[in-house]
Amino acid sequence: MAPPTPAYAKSVIKILFVSLIFDLLSFTLILPLFPRLLAFYRAQTDNAVLESIFTTLNAFKASFHRPISSRFDVVLLGGALGSLFSFLQAISSPFLGALSDRYGRRTALLYSMGGNIISVLLWVVATDFPTFLASRVVGGLSEGNVQLAIAIATDVSTPETRGATLALVGAAFSIAFTFGPMLGAFLASKTISLENPFAAAAVFSLALLVVETVFLYWKLPETRPLNEGPSRVDVKSERESKLEKKPEGEKGSEGSSAILLNLTHFLFLLIFSGMEFSLPFMTFDLFNHTSADSGKLLGFVGLLASILQGSFVRRYAPIVVVKTGLASAGISFFLLSRVNTQLELYVAAAFLAVTSACVVTSLTALVSFRTSEKDRGRALGGFRSAGQIGRATGPILFCTLYWWAGRQTAYMVGGTGMVGVAALVFTGIVS
């Protein structure tokens, strides 16, 4: 069977991009709703599970030397749920990747979509906190759309085009994270059920996933067919096969292994996710930011990241993009440690946008370059799992440092950590 033609690859990438927009809009709808949603469940009587969680969180708050406003109780709970979701992703990602290698990408993706639909169905009927918690657990265990979309994108791309192809995945992220929260906030104002005031957003999220699933079932081909012989994307010319092993501009030393890239992903997200979670605390302390103010800041970051994904990230080699993103991360942390005005905050946010646009997408491309076709799903699953472990633990560690030592120390330590991650990449991954 012939290798994928440019027209075939372009068609598959378009399908993936559309599906990711649907998927990530559904995922981001809930983000601005967490404070009100959790406050709604907390106001219910006879809520033993939620009260037990708040007791633990309050004990955590009480361990610090300075008082922490009760205003952040629901923020902490939202962070705890986010960490749980990431931890479950870390468990499930390698299994989903391995299943896609064995049974096909399309099959694994459709099963993942089924789990996502069940998760959102639980949210639609979540009139109490335990049902909502079950929704997040099911979602964490089944969410594999991004990981599998990346595997499909690498299946149909060549080493020369892979960085640009994966930049489109990053662009879908940036677009969804720019508009999804705004759409969620709008839908939260629409009440279709008094027992679940957020049912309108949940139903819309469900509709997006159902449409996405039908679209994928109808349009997406299997890029890794099940047969005894080589698959469509396994049959490459000799020149392409050599490039796959050591692509031009990305020829790595022995140190540029999957282990090193997984470690980089883990350390990066450990530090970066901690900063993301602490940012609302910092902006509230310094500028008394409201949720609307935080939304504007995140919208600025998302918009700038989208522009960078469509330009810089698509045009330059992944190793160059990763190094640029990590350097920007270090700069942003050092700036945040000294921020005193709104202008300074937005300058630091601009560097964060560079980091958001560059690092994870290009690290993923580097992993795909160093992985054989038959094990690509497993390798990308392990890579994602390493990052999700960092995302699950980073907020706890960073906020502990933030409240114990203060803003300047926390961000200086974070910036120093990012310099260390950058040094690991600059010295360990040779272009």
The alpha-helical segments, DSSP class H, found in 104-198 are: 105-124, 129-142, 145-156, 162-187
Long-range contacts at 192-200 (CB < 8 A, ≥ 24 apart): 195/127, 196/124, 196/125, 196/126, 196/127, 197/40, 198/33, 198/36, 198/37, 198/40, 198/123, 199/124
Cα–Cα distance between 24 and 20 in angstroms, integer? 6
258-287 vs 407-428: helix crossing angle, rounded to 10: 160
How far from 313 is each of 155, 308, 358, CA to CA, in Å? Answer: 20, 6, 6
Per-residue model confidence (pLDDT) at position 61: 73
The single residue listed with the structure tokens 């038959």 is 374
The two three-digit tokens of residue 44, written as one number: 């219910």
The two three-digit tokens of residue 428, written as one number: 């360990």
Q: Are 263 and 383 in contact (CB under 8 A)?
A: no
How far from 262 is each of 108, 254, 387, CA to CA, in Å? Answer: 23, 15, 7
The two three-digit tokens of residue 280, written as one number: 């609302």
DSSP three-state, residue 214: helix
Per-residue model confidence (pLDDT) at position 72: 66
Q: Residue 7: how many CA atoms within 13 Å on its side-chain side? A: 0
The alpha-helical segments, DSSP class H, found in 196-290 are: 199-219, 238-245, 258-287
Q: Are 375 and 388 in contact (CB under 8 A)?
A: no
How far from 145 is each of 81, 106, 140, 142, CA to CA, in Å? Answer: 20, 10, 11, 9
Contacts of 257 (CB under 8 A, 6+ apart): 370
Q: In 3-state terms, the chain is what percent helix, strand and coil (to 5)?
A: 80, 0, 20
6-28 vs 199-219: helix crossing angle, rounded to 10: 170
CATH class of 6-223+254-428: mainly alpha
Per-residue model confidence (pLDDT) at position 107: 92
Query: Along the chain (431 residues), what's the average pLDDT of each consecutive run of 10 residues?
Result: 75 92 90 78 80 80 69 72 87 89 90 95 93 93 87 84 79 82 83 86 95 94 63 42 45 58 93 84 79 76 85 87 94 93 93 92 85 79 90 85 83 94 85 55
DSSP three-state, residue 316: coil
Count of beta carbons in the 10 Å neighbourhood of residue 46: 6
132 DSSP assignment: H
Q: What is the pTM of this model?
A: 0.78
Count of beta carbons in the 10 Å neighbourhood of residue 145: 24
Boundaries of every domain in the chain: 6-223+254-428
- DSSP assignments along 378-423, one per residue: HHHHHHHHHHHHHHHHHHHHHHHHHHHH-HHHHHHHHHHHHHHHHH
Q: Are 260 and 329 in contact (CB under 8 A)?
A: no
Q: How close are the terminal C-alpha atoms of the chain, in Å?
A: 33
342-369 vs 162-187: helix crossing angle, rounded to 10: 130
